[in-house]
């Protein structure tokens, strides 16, 4: 914390971040079309829970913004500029179908933070996996028998075949397939090679597995694909993209940045004496990675993570702006701004959500920049 | 050097092949129907789908296009699949055949049943029994068919012309369902040779024919060529402008390091870096293209469509639309400036901190001379990488700008194709864009190596 907030911009960005987190957490309290606490003849009730607003309250505490982002009514005029005269007030005007922008902005912080942080978490998981494979194990530490490797490849084809014709849903298939892919590789290629390594019929077939080379080729493949173009195509393929499919797609496209960094760090750390000492001491690879190697590689990762969050937020809002991201009933900052495209006179639709995106992106970028400077000084 | 270039060029081939394969897979997953698209230009709409004529035409067109061929060089199918299942090109037939195969396995009993079902359909549509038409549309699984049969029998009794085909269908259905059921299956590999859809697709691709758009039937090659012209021209102009601005900026910011210009400029670029490009574009349009905020704010023309006459070249078209292109170009330049300016500054600063700069100062050169003659040429090298690396980013960043300002470039083409489910065009764009990205990176690396003899790339 002190690392991030040692300058004015750092303090400002942490403050912005806290405000948006609070907004996301308490969105239902800040913007709701029910009273928060009300006194009726039966006693004090919480109308947001009971979903009844027809009763007459003796007194009530109203939320600041008295709309939900999805509240639609015939009385609501579309493209209403911010006005303080109406009752209840539209602080930031209304969008193209008369929904309150202020409520949308407050609730939109949830989507922005959820997608930003969720996407980066999954990106980090994938990136760490490939980064460890290429950086720590590298080209010359995994021995496999190519006979077993071929057998494994055939097994994969069979698994894919049975999953395709099993009649399961595609998500389940994908998940099961990934698990089977890794698990069978571990069992057949790593464990069985180790067990059978000394058998005569196998020993001639043992080769070094060029993991680093494979991952590097993957990086190059990913570099050749323009991310935004393929992102749009994948989302067009999914009939109704949910938050999770969006998060996974963003992660699927952006893992190489993390993986490259982890690889570079681990290549450096792998040669350190304490890793060698631990290795000689008989500690397993997994333990070395988790307890000795990764903690030393994690610091520069934070820089990429905070830039990655802002990148994911920009991608998400761009997609919603274009109308390809989440479905239309989920109000996000991008989709609010997208409504301005049909009516450029509605300046409030461009200004308020845009300022929010800018502030959040700015905060994450600043945190990343401060972290980078800090680690730069440390090195 | 030559060897390196050749190896890199050769490496592009398998990469593009993989990308083509992924694209083809996406195309199959998207479930878009080329034949249906083709028929709709010819005036046959798929709303007539039930009619026998449409189906006949569909089959003919499918043979024409090659949609009745197997998908890939080989296929791995359950053992009970017949070896020519791919010949069933009509989509609802194919779905029905697969569903029936899953349930009853015996193709020699399923095929007669499907033929009888077809015959019954034909009789139904011939005698205009609309009730049955509707009843059979969604009934794919045989279990559902038996459930409906009660009503069907009643209708058949009223129209005796149907009875013979109906009884035939029922017989064959009974034969099909009476077989013993198995649940297990094993894979069977089938080799189809070069007469397959993927081979046709990729050989058309390599000969430069990208197929026809599903929206309007125009050749995709033409469409992409036009769009690419716009995107590349605009992208190059934007990169040229931002290089021309950011290079002096980087130089002077490093020259007056920690001075007022440096600090202010750095802060400005830093803030711009966080502004999403689509927000900037929207804000500029909202505030500077209308009279709403005072006459003096109405500087730029409205966002409209572009005049794209046939006679002029792209440059002529850009020139005739120059007024409308100021705002998008401004956004593009600012967008890449935020990245490039910072990189240039750090690149010049990096060189300035090296020992040879101090030597130059020590031997009596003025600071400006030392910077101009020693630091600048050296810092140009990494700048080249930055420029090359920002070309694909500029094209991708232009997507949103093109959509907002209605510029007929690649991004807009992709966007409209996605909205129209035109997967033929989408995949062609993906392959073309990734091919050009790889070529740009290759040119960058080769140039870099040419200019800086210290650099030797590994060729593994």
Predicted pLDDT of residue B49? 47
* Least confident residue range of A20-34, A137-151, B161-175: B161-175
Which of A332, A367, A366, A263 is closest to A101 using CA atoms?
Answer: A332
pLDDT over 70 at B76, yes or no: yes
CA A184/CA A309 separation, integer angstroms: 33
Question: What H or E segment, with its residue span, contains residue B187?
Answer: strand B187-191
Q: In sequence order, which residues have a C-beta less than 8 Å from that of residue B424 and are 6 or more positions away? A: B27, B32, B34, B37, B210, B211, B212, B213, B214, B220
- Inter-chain touch A229–B278, beta carbons under 8 Å: no
pLDDT over 80 at B316, yes or no: no
Say if pTM beats, i.e. exceeds, 0.80: yes
A227-237 helix and A294-322 helix, angle to the nearest 10 degrees: 70
On the CB side of A30, CA atoms within 13 Å amount to 21
Comparing B22 with B308, the larger pLDDT belongs to: B22
Q: Nearest by CB to B18, which of A167, A221, A228?
A: A221
pLDDT over 70 at B284, yes or no: yes
Comparing A69 with B148, the larger pLDDT belongs to: A69
Q: Mean pLDDT across chain B, nearest whole number?
A: 80
Which of A95, A76, A66, A84 is closest to A349 using CA atoms?
Answer: A95
Q: Is A74 helix (H, G, I), strand (E, B) or coil?
A: coil
* DSSP codes joined into one string, B93-134: HHHHHHHHHHHH--HHHHHHHHHHHHHHHHHHHHTT-HHHHH
pLDDT over 80 at B254, yes or no: yes
CB atoms within 10 A of CB A355: 14
Q: In sequence order, which residues have a C-beta less than 8 Å from that of residue B446 and are 6 or more positions away? A: B1, B4, B5, B8
Can you tell me the mean pLDDT for A86-103?
78
pLDDT over 90 at A255, yes or no: yes
Chain B nearest-CA residue for A157: B76
- Inter-chain touch B282–A314, beta carbons under 8 Å: no
**Minimal C-alpha gap between B379 and chain A (Å):** 21
CB A5 within 8 A of CB A371: no
Q: How far is CA A205 from CA A144, B224, B411, in A?
A: 8, 49, 50
Q: Nearest by CB to B290, which of A232, A341, A345?
A: A345
Q: Nearest by CB to A227, which of B396, B418, B438?
A: B396
Range picked from B1-5, B50-54, B135-139 for highest mean pLDDT: B1-5
- Inter-chain touch B76–A321, beta carbons under 8 Å: no
- Inter-chain touch B276–A318, beta carbons under 8 Å: yes
Kindly indicate the confidence band of residue B308, based on its pLDDT and cuts at 50, 70 and 90: low
Q: How far is CA A139 from CA A142, A143, A198, in A?
A: 7, 10, 22
Query: pLDDT tens digits, residue range B92-148?
Result: 788 888 888 888 888 888 888 888 887 777 777 676 655 555 555 444 434 444 445
Kindly indicate the confidence band of residue B32, based on its pLDDT and cuts at 50, 70 and 90: confident
Chain B nearest-CA residue for A239: B30
Alpha-carbon torsion (A231, A236, A237, A240), positive or negative: positive
Predicted pLDDT of residue B132? 55
pLDDT over 50 at B48, yes or no: no
The pair of three-digit structure tokens given for residue A299, joined into one six-digit string: 């610091």
Q: In sequence order, which residues have a C-beta less than 8 Å from that of residue B366 and are 6 or more positions away? A: none
pLDDT over 70 at A306, yes or no: yes
Tell me the count of A-B CB pairs closer than 8 A.
120
Can you tell me the mean pLDDT for B57-79?
84
For B189, counting Cβ atoms within 10 Å of its Cβ (0-12 exposed, 13-18 middle, 19+ buried), the class is exposed
Comparing A57 with B406, the larger pLDDT belongs to: B406
pLDDT over 80 at B151, yes or no: no
pLDDT over 70 at B441, yes or no: yes
* Least confident residue range of A73-87, A284-298, B21-35: A73-87
**Minimal C-alpha gap between B234 and chain A (Å):** 18
- Inter-chain touch A226–B78, beta carbons under 8 Å: no
Can you tell me the mean pLDDT for B435-443?
87
- Inter-chain touch A365–B30, beta carbons under 8 Å: no
The pair of three-digit structure tokens given for residue B451, joined into one six-digit string: 């200019």
Q: In sequence order, which residues have a C-beta less than 8 Å from that of residue A141 and are 6 or more positions away? A: A208
CA A277/CA B103 separation, integer angstroms: 61
Q: Give bridge partners of residue A38 from the DSSP assignment.
A: A45, A60
Chain B nearest-CA residue for A210: B460
Chain B nearest-CA residue for A222: B434
Predicted pLDDT of residue A86? 66
CA A250/CA A267 separation, integer angstroms: 27
- Inter-chain touch B15–A362, beta carbons under 8 Å: no
Predicted pLDDT of residue A237? 80
Q: How far is CA A120 from CA A230, A248, A320, B234, B367, in A?
A: 18, 10, 18, 32, 45
The pair of three-digit structure tokens given for residue B433, joined into one six-digit string: 């864009």
* Least confident residue range of A2-11, B71-80, B241-250, B377-386: A2-11
CB B260 within 8 A of CB B314: no
pLDDT over 80 at A351, yes or no: yes
Q: Is A291 helix (H, G, I), strand (E, B) or coil?
A: helix
Chain A hits for B293, CB-CB cut-off 8 Å, are: 347
- Inter-chain touch B399–A224, beta carbons under 8 Å: no
CA B180/CA A322 separation, integer angstroms: 54
- Inter-chain touch B276–A322, beta carbons under 8 Å: no
Which of B373, B339, B376 is closest to B238 using CA atoms?
Answer: B339
Kindly indicate the confidence band of residue A6, based on its pLDDT and cuts at 50, 70 and 90: confident
Which of A211, A217, A252 is closest to A231 using CA atoms?
Answer: A252
Predicted pLDDT of residue B459? 47
Kindly indicate the confidence band of residue B45, based on its pLDDT and cuts at 50, 70 and 90: low
Q: What is the ipTM of this complex?
A: 0.86
Comparing B444 with A127, the larger pLDDT belongs to: A127
- Inter-chain touch B429–A361, beta carbons under 8 Å: no
CA B438/CA B5 separation, integer angstroms: 13
Predicted pLDDT of residue B138? 41
pLDDT over 90 at A1, yes or no: no
């Amino acid at each position: 914390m002190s690392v991030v907030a040692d300058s004015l911009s750092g303090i400002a960005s942490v403050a912005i971040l806290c405000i948006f987190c609070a907004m996301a957490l308490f969105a239902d309290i800040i913007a709701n079309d029910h009273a928060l606490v009300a006194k009726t003849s039966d006693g004090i009730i919480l109308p947001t829970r009971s979903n009844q607003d027809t009763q007459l309250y003796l007194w009530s505490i109203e939320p600041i913004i008295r709309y939900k982002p999805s509240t639609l009514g015939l009385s609501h005029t579309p493209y209403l500029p911010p006005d303080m005269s109406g009752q209840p007030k539209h602080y930031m005007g209304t969008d193209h179908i008369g929904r309150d922008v202020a409520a949308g902005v407050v609730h939109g912080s949830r989507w922005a933070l959820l997608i930003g942080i969720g996407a980066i978490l999954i990106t980090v998981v994938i990136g760490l996996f490939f980064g460890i494979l290429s950086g720590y194990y590298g080209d010359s530490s995994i021995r496999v028998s190519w006979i077993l490797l071929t057998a494994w490849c055939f097994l994969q084809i069979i698994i894919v075949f049975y999953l395709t014709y099993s009649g399961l849903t595609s998500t389940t298939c994908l998940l099961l397939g990934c698990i089977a892919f890794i698990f069978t590789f571990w069992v057949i290629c790593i464990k069985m090679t180790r067990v059978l390594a000394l058998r005569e019929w196998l020993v001639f077939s043992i080769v070094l597995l060029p993991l680093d080379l494979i991952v590097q080729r993957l990086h190059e493949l990913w570099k050749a694909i323009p991310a935004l173009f393929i992102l749009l195509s994948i989302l067009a393929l999914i009939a109704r993209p949910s938050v999770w499919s969006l998060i996974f797609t963003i992660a699927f496209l952006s893992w190489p940045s993390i993986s490259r960094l982890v690889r570079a760090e681990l290549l450096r750390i792998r040669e350190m004496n304490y890793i060698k000492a631990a290795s000689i001491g008989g500690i397993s690879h997994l333990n070395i990675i988790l307890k000795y190697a990764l903690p030393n590689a994690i610091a520069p990762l934070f820089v990429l993570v905070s830039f990655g969050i802002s990148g994911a937020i920009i991608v998400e809002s761009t997609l919603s702006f274009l109308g390809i991201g989440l479905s239309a009933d989920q109000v996000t900052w991008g989709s609010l701004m997208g409504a301005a495209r049909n009516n450029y006179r509605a300046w409030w639709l461009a200004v308020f959500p845009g300022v929010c995106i800018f502030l959040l992106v700015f905060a994450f970028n600043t945190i990343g920049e401060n972290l980078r400077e800090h680690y730069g000084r440390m090195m | 050097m030559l060897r390196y270039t050749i190896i890199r060029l050769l490496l592009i081939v398998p990469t593009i092949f993989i990308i083509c394969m992924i694209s083809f897979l996406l195309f199959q997953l998207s479930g878009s129907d080329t034949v249906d698209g083709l028929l709709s230009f010819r005036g046959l709409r798929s709303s007539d789908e039930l009619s026998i004529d449409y189906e006949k035409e569909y089959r003919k067109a499918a043979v024409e296009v090659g949609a009745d061929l197997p998908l890939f060089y080989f296929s791995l199918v359950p053992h009970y699949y017949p070896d020519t299942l791919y010949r069933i090109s009509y989509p609802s037939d194919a779905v029905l055949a697969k569903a029936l195969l899953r349930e009853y396995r015996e193709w020699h009993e399923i095929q007669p049943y499907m033929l009888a079902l077809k015959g019954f359909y034909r009789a139904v549509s011939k005698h205009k029994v609309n009730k049955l038409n509707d009843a059979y549309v969604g009934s794919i699984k045989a279990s559902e068919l038996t459930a409906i049969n009660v009503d069907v029998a009643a209708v058949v009794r009223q129209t005796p012309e149907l009875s013979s085909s109906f009884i035939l269908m029922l017989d064959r259905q009974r034969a099909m369902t009476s077989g013993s059921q198995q649940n297990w299956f094993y894979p069977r590999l089938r080799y189809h040779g070069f007469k397959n859809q993927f081979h046709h697709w990729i050989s058309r691709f390599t000969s430069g024919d990208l197929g026809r758009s599903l929206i309007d039937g125009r050749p995709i090659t033409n469409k992409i060529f036009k769009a690419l012209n716009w995107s590349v021209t605009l992208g190059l102009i934007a990169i040229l402008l931002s290089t021309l601005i950011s290079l002096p900026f980087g130089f002077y910011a490093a020259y007056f390091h920690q001075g007022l210009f440096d600090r202010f400029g750095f802060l400005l670029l830093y803030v711009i870096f966080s502004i999403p490009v689509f927000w900037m574009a929207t804000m500029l349009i909202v505030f500077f293209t209308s009279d709403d905020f005072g006459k003096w704010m109405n500087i730029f023309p409205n966002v409209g469509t572009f005049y794209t006459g046939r006679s002029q070249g792209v440059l002529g078209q850009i020139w005739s639309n120059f007024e409308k292109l100021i705002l998008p170009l401004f956004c593009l330049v600012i967008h890449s400036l935020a990245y490039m300016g910072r990189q240039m500054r750090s690149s010049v600063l990096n060189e300035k901190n090296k020992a040879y700069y101090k030597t130059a100062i020590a031997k009596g050169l003025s600071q400006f001379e030392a910077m101009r003659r020693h630091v600048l040429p050296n810092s140009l090298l990494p700048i080249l990488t930055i420029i090359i690396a920002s070309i694909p980013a500029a094209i991708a960043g232009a997507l949103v700008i093109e959509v907002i300002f209605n510029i007929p470039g690649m991004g807009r083409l992709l966007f409209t194709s996605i909205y129209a489910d035109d997967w033929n065009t989408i995949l062609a764009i993906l392959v073309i864009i990734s091919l050009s990205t790889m070529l740009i990176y290759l040119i960058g690396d080769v140039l870099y190596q040419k200019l800086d003899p210290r650099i030797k790339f590994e060729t593994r």
